[in-house]
Amino acid sequence: MVRSRHGKTFIIAELSANHGGALETAIASVHAAAEAGADAVKLQTYTADTLTIDCSSEIFQIKQGTLWDGQTLYSLYSEAYTPWEWHEPIRNATLSAGMEFLSTPFDPSAVEFLESLNVNLYKIASFEIVDIPLIKLVAAKKKPMLMSTGIADLATIDEAVRACRSVGNNDITLLKCTSAYPAPPEDANLATIPNMASTFGVEVGLSDHTIGHAVAVTAVALGATVVEKHFIIDRSIGGPDASFSMEPAEFRQMVDAIRTSERAIGSVDYSVQGASAKNRKFSRSLFVVEDVNEGEELTYYNVRSIRPGDGLHPRYLHEIVGLRASRSIRRGTPLDWSLVLR
């Protein structure tokens, strides 16, 4: 399974189309992602011709109420793709910065190309989760598989997981995903994360298209072990994904919030530790609250349960009342068994 070197959650900076058409910007983005605390940088490996065909008929036009309405699929992918000759220098920069490099292949030629770059893990995009031959081809490489589930119902996810396992790959992380750009938080349905983990017996993470980091942090609290977020060095460079991508300072805030969440989740532990243990002194206990003479009866008037916690446990109050003092006791004395005739 993929594991972060910095915490429990493997945090991916999705570079995608956020390079403005310049390799220099892509390389600078890699270094910015490292500074922002990313564990990995992810690309998408395709060309417009490996994803679709150049056709302007209505069926190939985008009109789904998205950021990209009015374009054809071919024109969008031509704008958004990362040139394959950039992959190696981006990979080298990523590895040099101490991060993992991965990509999403969209056809067999991309898989072959990424194998030549010795990638250590693969991502299947939401819209490719139905491409069972592609999933089997990638899974057969016996490397960790991340699969986004944005357009998938339960049966579709099951078929994709079975496809991986059919070629001997059980190293699967499903990514809860909402395929909207940006995605409204109310559509995230993060309660699915622990259910998905138990249903399929796999790790589960989040591919997040919401604005901000609240959804990502909540996902970690619910058991997500991977978080993927679109990353851009500066939204002013524009591009198809810029509006819902995080700039470095925002990404850093998300990383820090996730790491804080990890520490807060901790483990199942009923012991009292740290500041809580010290503050037990201020819990309640039994005190003598009026001067008591030797042999005088202890009553609900002269013995009470109050703060701090230096006296007998309050559970003994009813047992103490009616007994007599073994010696004179001044008001404000924590009660102890040695002060009681039994």
Is the preceding omega at residue 184 within 30 degrees of 0, hence cis?
A: no
pLDDT tens digit string along 259-269?
Answer: 999 999 988 98
Q: Residue 68 — very low, low, confident or very high, per pLDDT cuts 50/70/90?
A: low
Is the preceding omega at residue 308 within 30 degrees of 0, hence cis?
A: yes
pLDDT tens digit string along 137-183?
Answer: 999 999 999 999 999 999 999 999 999 999 999 999 999 999 888 99
Confidence at residue 279, expressed as pLDDT on a 0 to 100 scale: 77
**Interval 60-64 mean pLDDT:** 76
Q: Is 127 helix (H, G, I), strand (E, B) or coil?
A: helix
Helix extents (H) in the chain: 23-35, 48-51, 73-80, 84-96, 108-116, 132-139, 154-166, 192-200, 214-221, 248-265, 274-279, 317-320
Closest CA to 124 of 113, 111, 112: 111
In whole numbers, what is the pLDDT of the chain averaged over residues?
Answer: 94
Q: Are 11 and 225 in contact (CB under 8 A)?
A: no
Q: Are 41 and 30 in contact (CB under 8 A)?
A: yes
d(CA 84, CA 116): 12
d(CA 82, CA 95): 18
pLDDT tens digit string along 96-124?
Answer: 999 999 999 999 999 999 999 999 999 99
> Is 65's pLDDT higher than 70?
no
Confidence at residue 46, expressed as pLDDT on a 0 to 100 scale: 94
Judged by average pLDDT, the poorest of 65-69, 276-280, 315-319 is 65-69
Nearest 5°: the CA angle 228, 232, 235 is 135
What percent of the residues of the chain are helix, what percent strand, and what percent coil, each to the nearest 5?
40, 20, 40
Q: Are 16 and 241 in contact (CB under 8 A)?
A: yes
d(CA 100, CA 144): 12
Q: Which domains does the chain have, with CATH numbers?
A: 10-46+81-265 (3.20.20.70), 274-341 (3.90.1210.10)
Confidence at residue 64, expressed as pLDDT on a 0 to 100 scale: 62
Confidence at residue 262, expressed as pLDDT on a 0 to 100 scale: 95
Q: Which two tokens stand for residue 164?
A: 């991986």
pLDDT tens digit string along 71-92?
Answer: 788 888 887 889 999 999 999 9
Q: Residue 67 — very low, low, confident or very high, per pLDDT cuts 50/70/90?
A: low
Q: What is the DSSP track for 257-326?
A: HHHHHHHHH-----S--HHHHHHGGGS-EEEE-S-B-TTPBP-TTTEEEESSS-SB-GGGHHHHBTBEES
Give me the percent of the chain exceeding a pLDDT of 90. Answer: 80
Nearest 5°: the CA angle 215, 218, 222 is 135
d(CA 54, CA 56): 7
pTM of the entire predicted model: 0.87
**Contact residues for 276 (Cβ-Cβ < 8 A; gap 6+):** none
Confidence at residue 4, expressed as pLDDT on a 0 to 100 scale: 85
